[in-house]
Copies of this chain bind each other. A is one copy, B any other.
Amino acid sequence: MSDLEIRPAAPEDIPAIVAMLADDPLGAQRESPDDLAPYLAAFDRLAEDPHQHLVVAVRDDQVVGTLQLTVIPGLSRRGATRSIIEGVRIHADERGSGLGTRLIEWAVEESGRLGCQLVQLTSDATRIDAHRFYERLGFEASHLGFKKAL
């Protein structure tokens, strides 16, 4: 396989990112790849916030992966800054290629460069394979993740 580049997402990447968000058992129910307007508006909100880092992984000019890294200052743990990884998606053609590992390792390293002492993420309780994947990468499933829709 040819080289992989991980770079900040651009507006032109939105269709490919949304296609990946929708190509997923959970995402299929809650995304709208035929209507990109809400995603473009959200991209503007992300671009305005210097603590948001939405990136894509690109191989052969194709977007094959994405994740969002958010840097969150805080008081607890002696004023530790933490990062949160959200929206990890790997293109179906790339699953099993090691790209997920590359992306998460990038996010962990970038978190250190950005001054974080802790990296955290939540994974849907039904995504058993993802849980094993994160544990292999040194994450500990120490918490329960609660959500409430508004």
Question: Which A residues fall within an 8 A CB radius of B?
Answer: 14, 17-18, 21, 27, 30-32, 35, 38-39, 41-43, 45-46, 49, 51-52, 54, 68, 70, 72-81, 84, 86-87, 108, 111-112, 116-125, 131, 134-135, 137-150
Contacts and interface: CB of A to CB of B under 8 A. Distances in A.
Q: DSSP majority for the A interface?
A: mixed
Nearest to A50: B49
Contacts of A121: 145-146
B140 A120 contact: no
Contact of A144 (B14, B31, B38, B122): B122
Number of copies: 2
B49 A51 contact: yes
A87 B18 CA distance: 32
A116 B51 contact: no
Nearest to A81: B45
